[in-house]
Amino acid sequence: MATSELRKLDTPSWSAASLRDGAGRTEPLCALGRHLVQTGAISRSDAALGQIVQAHCDAPLDRVLRAEGLLDEDVALAAQAERAGLRWASEAEIASGAEELPGIDARSLIRRGAVPLRGADGVLRLAVERPEDAASLGDLPDALRRRAPLIAPRRAIQGAMADAARIALTAAAEARPPEAESCRTWRATPAGRGALALGVVGALIGLSVLFPAQVFGLFVAWATLTLIVSALFKTAAVCARVVHGAPEPVQPPLPEGAKLPKVSILVPLYRETRIAQALIRRLSRLTYPKCLLDVILVLEETDDTTRETVAAIDLPPWMRAVIVPDGQPRTKPRAMNYALDFCEGDIVGIFDAEDAPAPDQITQVARRFAAAPPDVVCLQGILDYYNPRQNWLARCFTIEYATWFRVMLPGMARLGFAIPLGGTTLYFRRDVLEELGGWDAHNVTEDADLGFRLARHGYRTEVIGTVTGEEANCRAWPWIKQRSRWLKGYMTTYLVHMRRPLLLHRQLGAWRFWGFQAHFLTALSQFVLAPFLWSFWLVLFGLPHPLDPILPREGLLLFGKLFLAVEILNIGFYMLGVSSKGHRHLLPWAPTMHLYTPLGTIAAVKAIYEMIVAPYYWDKTAHGHSLDLNQPEP
């Protein structure tokens, strides 16, 4: 429910009826509402409607009115100050900067919207957005809390505190998770990794020269084993998905008396000038009450073009930009770690620059979290592509995503496995996200890593039926660059979590531990060792094979048949993934996925190279190349 929707109704009669208590008496306006009406800032009807929204939303009246464009921020702050007998923080006081307090974490002050400012009289005072905010700051020095606070815009408060604590906040964003659960302890220099890689490659070359058939056979054996495990793993996930059905597209209503919570959405943007306008239009279609939306555009300090683009846009009141100070590594998770403390919501979500979420998505998320047990701390939505008809590569990418998010991922969750998260349409309970230390700033697939960190600490992720449209990467080299980053991150995530395998086994339990092994080892092995399996096409066509010296032709033919059977099985899975109404036009393209997957092997080679020379390098994916940026979500 939002004021903009209520105003479409017969507001005088409806609002009066809605503001009557059980005895039929008209409930009075709150103190702030009366003040705004008396000063002529708003009409009584708007004040009444704002209070109706408050009955359903966890938001103060001024925020409700500002979010709907019925009240200017300056007018709201002036009313807060006048009603409480306080004064505004002057521009000079804010410009002179905040002061850090000994023993008080600057992130805590940013999170709570408070900043210590020293005035022209030399006295240190707190600045807050609302007078009541000062009451929640019981951990601050008594002398500071006893002084009358100043009133200032929340954005100015957070900006002043961020400037004062720039060094500490930058360092914290780079190292939020514990060292034992991060890859940041790896050396940035490639000397040691390079020497190890050269040693391994040299040994393989030497063994291959001495025992060519045997070495080839070992690789084939491992590739075959992981192929079989992968097929069984996928089949189990498909069966679970078929038995339990698709994720629910509609969630239960809120419990009686419960209010909708605040939701913060982080949208990291880097070199995204082409798509910024389209992004804001798409987010504006969200039907969640705007007074409960806190959309943060996360911008890099060094990205002048995107910052200039966003600055030229008239952002709605519920959307703002946060500038991330330059630092290392320059990655999406580091930027999100920095922006996390600026969030106001109890739920934190993630969108990418090109996303087109379903309008009711956040409402579904809020309802599901309200009904879910406490150990469900993450909700993963379904990702889809809105440009599948652009070319063959876009069609294949859409088939792959449909199969993964609509079939495999829900099936894995139903089987009780820990699941790797997608990078967007993710929603977290904020307290748990902060408890775990946010994201690993050095891991280039921070989403997959976080999914398993959640599982290690006893939390669960659910897949829900809400859909977000994305732009399919439809050019070969950008696709390879993106996939190589994902595979490098998979390698990183596996190595980090397998530092202490016994501890991992104890934390995950046997079922999820072996599911972790099956998922990562098969995915990585199949991409890297695919050429060894492709060699069996030689057998099926009656041509010589490298294993002829050690295996009879009948045995080689059996391997070839196994490889062919798994390929047919995979095509069946792909067809199941696109069998829904909106994707059936892709069914004839499912058999061509056999020609699409070899691109992943090229990406795997690039990923291995980067694991050695640049493990923290983030290979940026360019967006805004689809045929129509204004296409609706699927």
Q: How far apart are CA 197 and CA 35, in angstroms?
A: 71
pLDDT tens, 326-376?
A: 999 999 999 999 999 999 999 999 999 999 999 999 999 999 999 999 999
Count the alpha carbons within 13 Å of 438 in the hemisphere toward its beta carbon. Answer: 23
User: What DSSP designation does 318 have?
Assistant: T
**pLDDT score at 513:** 97
Domain range annotation of the chain = 3-83, 88-164, 195-634
Class of domain 88-164: alpha beta
pLDDT tens, 561-579?
A: 999 999 999 999 999 999 9
**pLDDT score at 632:** 45
Tokens 């699927």, residue located = 634
CA nearest to 175, candidates 438, 500, 433: 438
Task: Say which residues have a Cβ less than 8 Å from residue 360's Cβ, sequence separation at least 6.
Answer: 287, 288, 466
Q: Is the pTM of this model over 0.85?
A: yes
Mean pLDDT per 10-residue interval, the chain, length 634 residues: 42 45 60 84 86 84 87 87 86 82 90 87 87 79 85 92 94 94 83 85 90 93 96 97 90 85 96 85 93 96 92 92 94 96 96 94 95 96 93 96 96 95 95 96 95 96 95 91 95 96 97 97 95 90 89 90 94 95 94 93 95 88 60 44
Q: Which residue type, as a one-letter code, is found at position 357?
A: P
The CATH number of the structural domain formed by 195-634 is 3.90.550.10
**pLDDT score at 566:** 95
Q: Which residue type, as a one-letter code, is found at position 511?
A: W
Q: Counting beta carbons within 10 angstroms of the beta carbon of residue 75, is it exposed (0 to 12), middle (13 to 18) or buried (19 or more)?
A: middle
**pLDDT score at 588:** 96
**pLDDT score at 441:** 96
- Under 8 Å between Cβ of 146 and 126: no
Bridge partners for 113 per DSSP: none
Alpha helices in 129-266 (DSSP H): 142-146, 154-164, 166-174, 191-210, 212-244
**pLDDT score at 4:** 46
Q: Counting beta carbons within 10 angstroms of the beta carbon of residue 256, is it exposed (0 to 12), middle (13 to 18) or buried (19 or more)?
A: exposed
**pLDDT score at 624:** 67
